[in-house]
Structure 1
Amino acid sequence: MLGAPVAHAVTQVGGFSPGVAARVVTDAGRRGFVKAVSADVNPVSPGMHREEARNAASLPVDVPAPRLLGSYDDGTWVALVFEDVEGRQPRIPWREDELTRVLDAVGELSRTLTPAPVEVPPLVESLAEDFAGWQRMIDEGDDGEGLDPWTVSHMARLAEVAAPWAGFAAGDTLAHCDLRADNVLLTDDGQVVFVDWPHARQEAAPWFDLLLMLPCVRAQGGPDPEELFTRHPLGRDADPDGVTATLAAFAGFMIRCSRQLPPPGIPTLRPFQRAQGEAALEWLRKRLAE
């Protein structure tokens, strides 16, 4: 796909894929970014790579995302080759200047992706089961062992608050649905590039990506998500009740996921989900004043 054999490769850190993620240079000097995974390591990951290939190939050129150069699929191994973006991930813990830069770019991304320029599954339909996390925990008889006492005693209340989220989170924007530090690249010329698009969904509210991103920012040393959200242009225009409902649904999704067995080949995912869920709950309690 790059026209010559690979002469040099450097593995990239971050993220949760159990496969290859490497910047490569061919012996002709051409650069690329390669990600590949085998179903033998994780049976779900190849499907995510296939979805990412479809989504990345469909993104308009004005979307700040790496261009897909080609893909390979033999039924077991799936590999994607992207243009290599000369950038780095934001520093963790978050720095104020870099966070401001990324949040400004998230606002611009939402405007670029409204109306949704790509045909992908609708947001609400895709997340209906996942975002019923609190009710599913109740139905499954999960007593909340290991969670903080407030969450355990308020689980029915949290399920009630989250229940109407779908009516608020629907819209005409394409959402990335997985914005976090390791899916962002900062370039030396001031650009912000968003990578990893397998979870993209259409028919989302314009503020949906911002809301899902901020608990992760908080979990990685960032400031109060309520302050960030309410002063951001996307957050200022959002229905407060809809934000609270969607935040409750997202918290339930993260907390329930964090209590499942680790997926094959990805042992660090559950603790990361727990950290996001707890940050979302902290933010939610402020909004509920409870």
Structure 2
Amino acid sequence: MHTDLPDPAILALIQEHTGLVTELRCTAGGFSSDLTALVGCEKGAFFVKAVRNRPGGRRDSLIRERLVNASVRSLSPPLLWDVEDGGWVVLGFGAVEGRDADFAPGSLDLPLVVDAVARVGRLPLPEVARDWRETRWDRFARDRSEAELFQGDSLLHTDVNPSNFLVGERELWVVDWSWPTRGAGFLDPALLAVQLIASGHTPASAEGWVARCPAWQRADPAAIDAFAGANSLMGEAFLARKPDAGWLRAMAEAGRAWAGHRGGGVEQGG
């Protein structure tokens, strides 16, 4: 068996669901997991996500992903099993084959990605998500009334980036539902717009793509303006904490370009 597993205790924990593990290959994980891996075993193939069982954001995000999966299976691989003990919390998803989406100008993936974001926007808000109010951009809004524009009853993915859209031969999956929230439906299309700008689109081109999403079409332009400004300030704040992080710089520059396109200000409110 080939394995680069950092903690052998995980194998014992998941064995009831996997049987004999023949291969375990760690993948490039995100910030929300301590481990992501493709597992080959006698019971099939699984994609596994695990976090150490400690109170805090990583555990909370994995629990949210577990709870929301039943409501997003039309777009995301199904959660087939989950286990935890004192050391780890582990989710086992059906494994799918795909590559990261290409967000660059001219990419043939763009219509698929935009359609997927639109489909997310059409998902009913599950009861489990009613208390997951989106608040992360509130402190960057100019005032409370502006922050209220980010509120709504749509289920949001909020982690829109190329690695979370897997393109297969016949299907595209939206993966890594690590921090779903309830908010205004235009937020996911707006976050896609920023990612498109970071991938080389002009702000006008990026908005041209996301304008295909019904949630964007229904949004108050003033709400989009407010979010563009708040998102830009968030990007600048994150970059200030880690000025050497290239991806944060790219996102800050994209957010700044989009806010300028929308006519947004540069001063943070209370």
- What TM-score do the two structures reach when normalised by structure 2? 0.79
The answer to whether the 8 A contact 2:38-2:46 is kept is yes
The answer to whether the 8 A contact 1:163-1:245 is kept is no
Aligned residue among 2, 23, 28 for 1:13: 28
Q: Which residue matches 1:106?
A: 117
The answer to whether the 8 A contact 2:117-2:213 is kept is no
- Alpha-carbon separation, structure 1, partners of 2:67 and 2:119: 23
Q: Which residue matches 2:180?
A: 200
Partner deviation per Cα, 1:58-108 (whole Å, 9 max, x = no partner): 4254x3111111222224322211110122211364652101211012112
Q: Cα 1:229–1:102, aligned 2, differ >3 Å: closer, same or farther?
A: closer
Task: Say yes or no: does 1:132 pair with 2:139.
Answer: yes
- Alpha-carbon separation, structure 1, partners of 2:242 and 2:200: 26
The answer to whether the 8 A contact 2:164-2:176 is kept is yes
- Alpha-carbon separation, structure 2, partners of 1:15 and 1:285: 29
Q: Cα 1:217–1:39, aligned 2, differ >3 Å: closer, same or farther?
A: farther
Aligned residue among 252, 257, 260 for 1:282: 257
Q: Cα 1:234–1:97, aligned 2, differ >3 Å: closer, same or farther?
A: farther
Alignment of 1:37-56 (within 5 A): 37-38=51-52, 44-56=57-69
SS of the aligned residue for 1:179 comes to coil
Partner deviation per Cα, 1:226-280 (whole Å, 9 max, x = no partner): 3333454432322110101112122222221232369xxxxx9x54333223211
Q: Which residue matches 1:182?
A: 163
Partner deviation per Cα, 1:162-216 (whole Å, 9 max, x = no partner): 7533332222211111121111111211x221111121112x2222211122212
Return the letter of the residue paired with 1:214: A
Q: Which residue matches 2:13?
A: none
Instruction: Give the aligned CA root-mean-square deviation in angstroms.
Output: 2.9
SS of the aligned residue for 2:236 comes to helix
Task: Say yes or no: does 1:34 pair with 2:53.
Answer: no
Alignment of 1:73-84 (within 5 A): 73-84=84-95
The answer to whether the 8 A contact 2:226-2:264 is kept is no
**Superposition deviation, residue 2 in structure 1:** 3.3
The answer to whether the 8 A contact 1:206-1:234 is kept is yes
SS of the aligned residue for 2:149 comes to helix
Structure with more relative contact order (C-alpha pairs < 8 Å, separation 6 or more): 1
Task: Say yes or no: does 1:23 pair with 2:23.
Answer: no
- Percent identity over paired residues: 27
What runs of 5+ residues in structure 1 fail to find an aligned partner? 134-158, 263-267
- What TM-score do the two structures reach when normalised by structure 1? 0.74
Q: How many residues align?
A: 248
Return the letter of the residue paired with 1:193: W
What runs of 5+ residues in structure 2 fail to find an aligned partner? 1-15, 266-270
Q: Cα 1:195–1:248, aligned 2, differ >3 Å: closer, same or farther?
A: same
The answer to whether the 8 A contact 1:51-1:198 is kept is yes
Q: Which residue matches 2:107?
A: 96
Task: Say yes or no: does 1:120 pair with 2:129.
Answer: yes
Return the letter of the residue paired with 1:25: G
